Chain A
Amino acid sequence: MRNIWTIAKREYDHYFISPIAYVVAFLILLTTGIIFVVNLYYYIQNAFQSFGQVPDISPVTGSFAFLLVLTIPALTMRLIADEARMGTLELLLTAPVRDFELVTGKWLGGFLFILSVLAVTLIYPIILNGIVIGSVTILHPMVTPGIDRQLMFSAYLGVILVSASFLALGVGISAIFTNQIAAFFVTLITFIALWWLFGFPVDVLQPGTGQHIFQYLDMKTHFYNALGAGSISISDLLYFVSLTALGLFIGTTAVEVRRWR
């Protein structure tokens, strides 16, 4: 287990000297920042209208999750593919490190990086909460609980689970390839399939003709309609946990297959 941590730590440190990681962090934070500001403006404008409502954090977490589809392939593509290209994989595979420890360590390193970026966005719910409490108190002298905390918790959990499963699949695919560009595109296509393509048959097919299978596979349903909207269910948790396990399993198997080639 200590090996997993050693490898994860080196990967995590590596992100902070990697231009791609900075571009990813910048892209995610800039976009979520703009979306937060625009939404806040919209809520404030509508607050004085009859259809005004209490703002929540879902625009930020929703766009964060969506951006993961596009950015995680860039973060995971080199994880194992590049080690294979540079020859350092030979080093790791002859060190007393089990194959699954290597793959899990790589995954954990990426996961900690995404968590760090996600932690920065926690500033938005804090600001939002302050505004809600402050404005309500000014307009009406009554006690307010602030923003919807359960929604916030569930949406953040959703983003964490989406990134865990995406990263695991990305590491798994990276283990199959020696060329990181190939790994990037295959990862991106896989994510696009999970996020959009599986959703199409759900609308087209009649119930009872396998529609529910696509419905279960469709990741955005598990996120936007469930965790991202504030409802936590075992079925959704199981979906993300099994995808993560599948990704790590693919990675471990691919590393083992390399030995036998």
Chain B
Amino acid sequence: MIRVNGLTKDYGARRAIDNLTFDAEQGEILGFLGPNGAGKTTTMRILTSYMPPTEGSALVAGYDILEESMEVRKRVGYLPETVPLYNDMIAVDYLKYMADLRKIPDSEERAYETLEMVNLGDRATSYIGNFSKGMRQRIGLAQALIHRPEVLILDEPTIGLDPAQVVEIRNVIREIGKDRTVLLSTHILTEAQQICDRVLIINKGKIVAEDTPENLQSRLMGSQRVVLRVRGETDGLAARVSKVKGTRDVETKPDGSVEFEFSAGQDVRPQVAKSVILGGFDLLEMRPIGLSLEEIFLELTRDANVTTKVS
């Protein structure tokens, strides 16, 4: 588990992260979402004991990152943003080296096992220098997994991969995340939506939102917008929808569909449907337009004022 309390880091006069507080439990995949330069990498570097915070404290796997740094490092697997590889080594030797540094008995055997976990078993004796971007990312992940850590911290694990590899890596992470704590950073929103149990949106060093991807969506939606489609002639449709009590912002789109909004908790869709059918229209479709995580993200990171709106 990870417990972060008031973590702050200054680079000279610039404040990279500002009073971050959050938790992640065992068996949870926590997504760290934010634009570039938001402070994701800095936070991860502090949690892995790479650098000390300016203020605040954190417990990782039950140990203090400053006071018990060695214990933390033993229990954390870390994949930095630039995958740290020795190009002049073959894959299995590299992992064996990492296993030896972590004093794992039968390090060579463990190296082969871990290569299998990331589907690189057949490239065990290839030079890392000849690996493709996707393979480098995977062996980087293998390095983070070599000691089967309690806590896994992954900085943009799927960056630069092709779609098939992305799916593959995500599966590996989801599998691993079942009984470990995983903190992963990304700026791909669908990724956070797909694999994270909880998402933490960070901007300019501050947490602007923290929730499950689903809740985040519904919390941001004070009102629900619906698109309505009918067959054939659409004259008078918008007018008819407007007449139903509770609808607002009725708009006819160029393709003939009509969009309207209603306040959450005041569902007027049955009334709208009745009114439309009574008006002689053939109702084809009535569908809510969900705010995608992408829109939420843009909304939240545009300016800091949004913070109050969310929380």
Contact = CB atoms under 8 A, between A and B. Distances in A.
A and B together in one complex: yes
Interface of A: 2-3, 6-7, 10, 14, 17, 86-98, 259-261
Interface string B210-253: 00000000000000000000000000000000000000000000
A259 B52 CA distance: 7
B88 A95 contact: no
Contact of A94 (B50, B86, B97, B100): B50
Given A3-B101, A6-B97, A90 B84 contact: yes
A20 to B, nearest CB: 12
Nearest to A6: B100
A94 B74 contact: no
Interface size class of B (residues with CB under 8 A): 20 to 34
Contacts of A87: 80, 82-84
Interface string B73-112: 1101010101111111000000001101111000000000
A124 B250 CA distance: 97
Contacts of A261: 51
Given A2-B103, A6-B100, A94 B48 contact: yes
Contact of B74 (A86, A91, A96): A96
Nearest to B76: A94
Contacts of A90: 45, 50, 78, 80, 82, 84
A259 B101 contact: no
A88 B85 contact: yes
Among A89, A94, A259: residue with most chain B CB under 10 A: A94
13 contacts: A6-B97, A6-B101, A7-B101, A10-B97, A86-B87, A87-B84, A90-B50, A91-B84, A96-B73, A96-B101, A96-B102, A259-B51, A260-B52
A87 B80 CA distance: 8
Nearest to A92: B101
B51 A88 contact: no
Interface of A is mostly: helix
Given A94-B48, A96-B70, A259-B51, A86 B101 contact: no
B70 A88 contact: no
B86 A88 contact: yes
A17 B88 contact: yes
A7 B70 CA distance: 17
Nearest to A98: B70
A95 B101 contact: yes
A86 B89 CA distance: 14
B109 to A, nearest CB: 17
B49 interface: yes
B73 A95 contact: yes
Contacts of A98: 70
B50 A93 contact: yes
A85 to B, nearest CB: 10
Contacts of B185: none
B186 interface: no
B143 interface: yes
Contact of A260 (B51, B98, B100, B101): B51
Contacts of A2: 103
Given A92-B101, A95-B101, A95-B102, 7 more contacts: A91-B80, A94-B50, A94-B73, A95-B73, A96-B70, A259-B52, A261-B51
